[in-house]
Amino acid sequence: MDALKRPPAEQYNKMTIENIKIRKAVETDFQSVDFLYQQNYKLYSKNISNDYKNPPIPTLPKGTFLNITEDKNALLLVAEIDEKVVGILYAIIEKDDGDDWTHPYNRVSVEEMSVSKDFSRQGVGTMLIENTQNWAKKKGINNLIVLVHAFNKNAINFYLKNDFRDYSIKMVKKIQEKTH
Ligand SMILES: CC(C)(COP(=O)(O)OP(=O)(O)OC[C@H]1O[C@@H](n2cnc3c(N)ncnc32)[C@H](O)[C@@H]1OP(=O)(O)O)[C@@H](O)C(=O)NCCC(=O)NCCS
């Protein structure tokens, strides 16, 4: 499309969101996936600077990325619109055999997800979750789980809207100022 004749961004998004494709990541997606990972690191380093370092933002090592794409117990999805990656979701299968006190479990943990700001609130994240659910169901897994930072109200709203419910609450108490 001629750049000068492009419709405004909002209209463009609405027009093309129908062309969305959710698929597993492949090697050539590395840069796009890394870019969206960095979007999340920026958010974390801004809001939880005790845990996450300031920029320069660490990049996802390519070896790690490739291992994930080949791991049968992991899922790295990309959402693509007009050949542009606009969202990612990385999930792993968590298993436990149980013991005298607890039942065994088998669940899918959403480790990271990110949607490009230009395409937020248009259903991309929801489609990534739905595809993850289908992948989990095919493996006979009944639950998805995610750990969300308390500051991240947008993400909490997103997961609530996608039928996730509170499971446990991790609390912290600062007992001394940082010494390093
Ligand atoms: C959370 C995230 C993945 C949602 O993706 P998305 O494609 O925008 O989500 P959807 O369009 O499918 O769902 C939209 C719903 O999510 C919530 N939401 C998403 N972005 C929001 C925002 N900026 N402000 C408030 N609510 C927001 C709302 O409930 C919204 O519903 P609404 O628009 O009807 O109010 C995306 O906002 C993102 O990448 N955030 C930054 C990274 C992040 O926090 N990742 C999760 C780490 S656990």
Ligand 1: which residue has its CA nearest to atom 36?
A: 115
What is the residue extent of each domain of the chain? Answer: 3-161
pLDDT tens digits along 95-119:
999 999 999 999 999 999 999 999 9
DSSP class per residue in 120-180 = TTSSHHHHHHHHHHHHHHHTT--EEEE---TT-HHHHHHHHHTT------------S----
Instruction: Quickly state the pLDDT bin for 18 (edges 50, 70, 90).
Output: confident
Q: Considering only CA atoms, which of 78, 73, 81, 72 is closest in space to residue 34? A: 78
Question: How much is the average pLDDT of 25-51?
Answer: 94
Separation of CA 64 and ligand 1 centre (Å): 26
| Lowest model confidence (mean pLDDT) among 37-51, 69-83, 123-137 | 37-51
State the distance from the centre of ligand 1 to the C-alpha of 156, rounded, in angstroms. 8
The answer, yes or no, to whether residue 11 has pLDDT greater than 80, is: no
Cα–Cα distance for residue pair 29/160, rounded to 1 Å: 29
In tens, the pLDDT along 63-78 reads 999 999 999 999 999 9
Ligand 1 atom closest to Cα of residue 148 = 48
CA of 6 to the centre of ligand 1 (A): 26
In this predicted structure, what is the pLDDT of residue 2? Answer: 44
Per-residue confidence (pLDDT) for residue 10, from 0 to 100: 54
Q: Tokens for 5, please give them.
A: 């004749």
- Give 5's pLDDT tier (boundaries 50, 70, 90): low
**Is 114's C-beta closer than 6 angstroms to any atom of ligand 1?**
yes
Closest residue to atom 5 of ligand 1, CA basis: 125
Nearest CA to ligand 1 atom 1: 155
The C-alpha atoms of residue 137 and residue 29 are separated, in whole angstroms, by 26
| Virtual torsion, Cα 24, 27, 30, 33, nearest 10 deg | 0
pLDDT of 4 higher than 50: no
Decide yes or no: CATH 3.40.630.30 for domain 3-161.
yes
153 in ligand 1 pocket by Cβ < 6 Å? no
> By mean pLDDT, which of 10-19, 23-32, 165-174 is the weakest?
10-19
At 108 the three-state DSSP class reads strand
